[in-house]
């Protein structure tokens, strides 16, 4: 007996493809977010030159303008204007906030790219770069 497969069943079988334009780095990156209402500290679960996914801090409103101070190990702090584009919860039920960076020039994007490369190199070396720099 032949079974009929509907469109929803087919969609469930198709793997989800990551269609993001920019590569992501997940590591020990933290940030401070400044709003008109105050300051909060977050973990950065996902980071690219166009935005980030923040976790572990206070909730923010959608479309809220913010200033993000990225704190990447062994890299100078990067200050970036941004806006909240998505709010929800992560897999652990903690608040998760998607932000989009608002670049006023290519310089900011270049700083983020350099910070990403620095953290990627550091994380791939199991922190040995830090040992060499501090010896």
pLDDT tens, residue by residue, 38-52 = 999 999 988 889 999
pLDDT tens, residue by residue, 78-112 = 999 999 999 988 777 878 999 999 987 888 888 88
The answer to whether residue 63 scores a pLDDT higher than 50 is: yes
Q: Are strands 30-35 and 51-55 parallel, antiparallel or unpaired?
A: unpaired
pTM value is: 0.69
pLDDT score of 104: 78
pLDDT tens, residue by residue, 7-35 = 444 344 434 344 445 444 455 889 999 99
Q: Which residue has tokens 């584009």?
A: 85
Query: Contact at 8 Å (CB) between 118 and 110?
Result: no
Residue-range domain boundaries for the chain: 19-133
Beta bridge partners of 44: 54
pLDDT score of 26: 52
Q: Are strands 38-47 and 95-101 parallel, antiparallel or unpaired?
A: unpaired
> 34: buried, middle or exposed (CB in 10 Å: 19+, 13-18, 0-12)?
middle
Q: Are strands 65-71 and 51-55 parallel, antiparallel or unpaired?
A: unpaired
* Structure letter (DSSP) for residue 12: H
Select 19-133's CATH number: 1.20.1250.20, 3.30.420.270, 3.40.50.970, 2.40.10.220.
2.40.10.220
Query: Contact at 8 Å (CB) between 5 and 30?
Result: no
pLDDT score of 16: 35
pLDDT score of 95: 80
∠ CA 71-73-76, nearest 5°, is: 60
């Amino acid at each position: 007996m032949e079974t009929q497969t509907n469109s929803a069943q087919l969609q469930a079988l198709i793997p989800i493809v990551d269609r993001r334009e920019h590569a992501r780095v997940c590591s020990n990156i933290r940030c401070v977010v400044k709003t008109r209402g105050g300051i909060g500290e977050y973990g950065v679960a996902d980071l690219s030159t166009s935005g980030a996914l923040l976790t572990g801090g206070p909730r923010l409103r959608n479309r809220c303008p913010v200033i993000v101070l990225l704190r990447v190990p062994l890299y100078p702090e990067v200050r970036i204007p941004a806006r909240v584009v998505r709010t929800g919860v992560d897999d652990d039920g903690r608040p998760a906030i998607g932000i989009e960076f608002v670049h006023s020039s290519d310089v900011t994007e270049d700083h983020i790219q350099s910070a990403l490369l620095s953290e990627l190199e550091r994380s791939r070396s199991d922190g040995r770069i830090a040992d060499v720099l501090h010896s």
